[in-house]
Amino acid sequence: MKLKLIISAIVVFLFFKNHCRAQTVKADLKQLGFMAGTWVQKHQWGDMEEFWGQPMGDSMISSFRVVKDGKVEFYEFVVIEEANGSPVLKMRHFNRGSIAWEDKNKPLLFYLVNIEKNKAEFELKNKSVKLTYQLAAPDKMDVILNEKDKTGGWKKDVFNYSRKK
C-alpha cells in the first residue's frame, strides 16, 4: 500500500513538474536571423526603437528603448543564447540612468516554445508571459506580448514595427 502511494506521488510530481514549465523546442539560432535589423514604431508609450544583431556564434543581442517627449522612458537589453540545443531569450529592463528592474543575477528567461519560418514564440517558465516575433513582410515585424493580469486573464499588446531605413 505504501509503495502505491509513493509511486502515485512520484507520478503526480513528475506530471506537474513537466506541465508547469515551458516545453522548449530544439532550434538553430540561425532560424532567428529574420529578427535582425533596426525596427521602429510610434506608439502610445512613445517612440520605440529595437535593434537585433545577426546571430553570431551561439548568441544574438538586442537593445530597445522608448522615448517620450524627448526623454527615455525605459530600456531593454536582450540576449538569446543557445542552451542544450534550444535558444533562450534573456531580458533585462532599465530605467533612465541604467537603473535595473530585475535582480543582477536574475534576468527574465523566455524559452523557445514554437518556431516556424519567420516566426518565433518564447515563453516564461511559469507561462505568465509569451513573446512572439513574426516577420510580416521584409520591412515589417510584429512583436506580440501576451501576459496574464492579476485576475488570470490575458492582456495582449501588438507592436507593429517597420524596418528603419
Q: Which residues share a beta bridge with 71?
A: 68
Number of neighbours of residue 86 by Cβ within 10 angstroms? 16
pTM, rounded to two decimals: 0.84
Tell me the pLDDT tens digit for each residue of 14-65.
344 444 445 789 999 999 999 999 999 999 999 999 999 999 999 999 999 9
110: helix, strand or coil: strand
Specify the residue for cell string 501576459: 147
Q: Delimit the domains of the chain by residue range.
A: 23-163
Distance CA 151, CA 132 (A): 22
Mean pLDDT of 136-164: 96
Q: Does the pLDDT at position 7 exceed 80?
A: no
Looking at residue 37, its pLDDT comes to 98
Query: Which of residues 151 and 12 earns the better pLDDT score?
Result: 151
Q: Does the pLDDT at position 12 exceed 90?
A: no
Closest CA to 62 of 36, 97, 25: 36
State the DSSP H helix or E strand holding residue 48, giving kind and residue range, or none if neither: strand 46-52
Looking at residue 3, its pLDDT comes to 39
**By the 8 A CB rule, do 142 and 34 touch?**
no
Residue 117 in grid coordinates: 519560418
**By the 8 A CB rule, do 110 and 123 touch?**
yes
Torsion sign (Cα): 37, 41, 44, 48: positive
138: helix, strand or coil: coil
Q: Which residues share a beta bridge with 62?
A: 52, 78
Residue 151 in grid coordinates: 485576475
Torsion sign (Cα): 137, 143, 146, 149: negative
Q: Does the pLDDT at position 1 exceed 80?
A: no
Q: What DSSP line would sit under 111-152, residue for residue?
A: EEEEEETTEEEEEETTSSEEEEEEEEETTEEEEEEEEE-TTS
Q: Which fold has domain 23-163?
A: Lipocalin (2.40.128)
